[in-house]
Structure 1
């Protein structure tokens, strides 16, 4: 999860539902302007509907389950080739050292995000919907401490295959270090091999306080060649992703050779940095204002003249 997660609610995601028929559920911090009019009942109902669809798709659709298993299976198939070629790395930061070959003799490692990549937190989203609540840090940390997240389909089998192939698995998460023990316990209970050394959390060190994962990736690549990365957000692969829509598309296209070979993206219609980009990451906007910005980003079919 990126830091964007800590600023959304389950009431504000329109893009994915309208574009691919799934729906998103992300949101905003409440406005502090008491003079601002609340959203209309119609807008509130529509926003509520998006969170319902997104969570139900992740919890109940065969399509989501199939897509997850398919992605992890493809990742496992790619792993042998990446291990055989010591010149390859899945970290952009590490690839800049390619000319020197400084990482060629390092042991291989894969980096996985945690939330919605390894751990499925959709029951937390469902709870928010049923209780008519919105995301906040307190309820999120309380959920983490319940240790009730389930495994994302396909994740455990991939991790086991990677470990059996002699690959070190790092879990690189934007969960804060305050829920370290709960996160480790949850992973262990599901059968994932994990210890504190390989669970890299936000705020674990003073220079790891930001949501940008680059400093933590750089820490891992000092001791390992990063052969693969798996996540559900552009920030799981690149730095400084909270930028314009056009720039995000350019960043993704620039590294098109990594997708499906060294980088594997899992779907997440509930939240992510993609949503904030639709309204320039201005989380002070009301739900209706965010909704209007999102509508303006739609690309309708053009009628023939």
Structure 2
């Protein structure tokens, strides 16, 4: 049994089923005090510095007594617990948590397998048994659609196709992101272009992607990749897809890329694809992989979230639109405190409340 069939089978089965010390300082600060005292007597004593341990007491040159504690931050001025330190950005050479999740965790792998199993079940079971396939509707929003009033066209005799984004939807950019982890935060377009040109052998397929894409093609359905990668590096992108077991592709036909002078949206390319094919499913890791309407500049963060579940868009998820996890980069990583957490749902620990 093929891996994708096994995944789909499992999916179907699951659906049927205080003291007298003058002062106390953090250990790092105490080290500074003791080191100053030791340096002033070094020529006289020439002894090794004592090891600093929590609980030990030392006397400074001016007669003050300090005790080393295990604190890593000074207590709050009101005597309450120490305020937590502001999380620092991951040091260059370490792997940020979001990369640990997407590229290293079993959880991310399981989510991807789940999405591809759902996609395959939808296409292979829900669509192929339609008696009149000419009445199947495209899942590409029409030009006059809005997020609150989505519209679709009936496909007629156009051949069926599934449209995928590339990066972190079908292709994991392991080489580029490992370099990003070593360097630390910050994106450089020139480095990304050089990656496109030289990193075709440092990629892997998203779990479930290669098997599902092969099965879709086996059902006689065309697979098309619609990516914001540069058209000037098309041959390298095609090679990367081949190396990950996702090819073959034909540039300009089944691999559609952004012209260097064009904006980053995908709708125009989607509409052109929909003129030739009946797009029965789409897969992506950003909402913009389904419609540019999600990325309108005047759309607040909370509204953007709500449109996915509180409008007529909601029934599309898992039934034509399939999204993959990506906490590493993209349009979804934004929003201030009151945007991400509504004020009526924010909580403060009563134990830390000021009197």
**Structure-1-length-normalised TM-score:** 0.72
Higher Cα Rg, which structure: 2
Q: Name the structure 2 match of 1:36.
A: none
On the 8 A contact 1:119/1:152 being kept in 2, the answer is yes
Q: Which runs of 4+ in 1 moved over 4 A?
A: none
Shift of 1:134: 2.3
Asked whether 1:298 is paired with 2:341, we answer: yes
CA distance in 2, matches of 1:138, 1:233: 22
Q: Name the structure 2 match of 1:143.
A: 195
Shift of 1:303: 6.3
SS of 1:274's partner is: coil
List per-residue Cα deviations over 1:117-176 (Å, max 9, x = no partner). 011014322211213352211111111222122111110111101100111111000111
Q: Name the structure 1 match of 2:19.
A: none
- Indicate which of 264, 270, 288 corresponds to 1:217: 270
Asked whether 1:246 is paired with 2:289, we answer: no
SS of 2:319's partner is: coil
CA distance in 2, matches of 1:248, 1:229: 19
SS of 1:201's partner is: strand
On the 8 A contact 1:116/1:152 being kept in 2, the answer is yes
Q: Name the structure 2 match of 1:46.
A: 88
Q: Name the structure 2 match of 1:179.
A: 233
Gap runs ≥5 in structure 2:
1-84, 144-149, 351-355
Shift in CA distance, 97/76, structure 1 to aligned 2, threshold 3 Å: closer
On the 8 A contact 1:111/1:170 being kept in 2, the answer is yes
SS of 2:282's partner is: strand
Q: Name the structure 1 match of 2:284.
A: 231
On the 8 A contact 1:116/1:232 being kept in 2, the answer is yes
SS of 1:268's partner is: coil
Shift in CA distance, 128/303, structure 1 to aligned 2, threshold 3 Å: closer
Aligned residues: 242
- Let me know the Cα RMSD of the aligned residues: 2.5
On the 8 A contact 2:141/2:152 being kept in 1, the answer is no
CA distance in 2, matches of 1:70, 1:78: 12
Shift of 1:296: 6.3
Asked whether 1:258 is paired with 2:316, we answer: yes
**Structure-2-length-normalised TM-score:** 0.63
On the 8 A contact 2:302/2:340 being kept in 1, the answer is no
Asked whether 1:117 is paired with 2:169, we answer: yes
Shift in CA distance, 250/143, structure 1 to aligned 2, threshold 3 Å: same
CA distance in 1, matches of 2:283, 2:109: 16
Shift of 1:294: 4.8
Q: Which has the higher contact order (CA 8 A, sep 6+)?
A: 1
- Indicate which of 208, 215, 220 corresponds to 1:161: 215
CA distance in 1, matches of 2:339, 2:95: 20
Gap runs ≥5 in structure 1:
1-41, 279-292
CA distance in 1, matches of 2:204, 2:291: 27
CA distance in 2, matches of 1:169, 1:120: 18
CA distance in 1, matches of 2:290, 2:138: 12
Q: Name the structure 2 match of 1:58.
A: 102
CA distance in 2, matches of 1:108, 1:261: 15
List per-residue Cα deviations over 1:239-289 (Å, max 9, x = no partner). 23223113312431221110011110101001111124x2xxxxxxxxxxx
Alignment of 1:271-282 (within 5 A): 271-276=329-334, 278=335
- Indicate which of 185, 189, 199 corresponds to 2:255: 199
Between Structure 1 and Structure 2, the one with more helix by share is 1
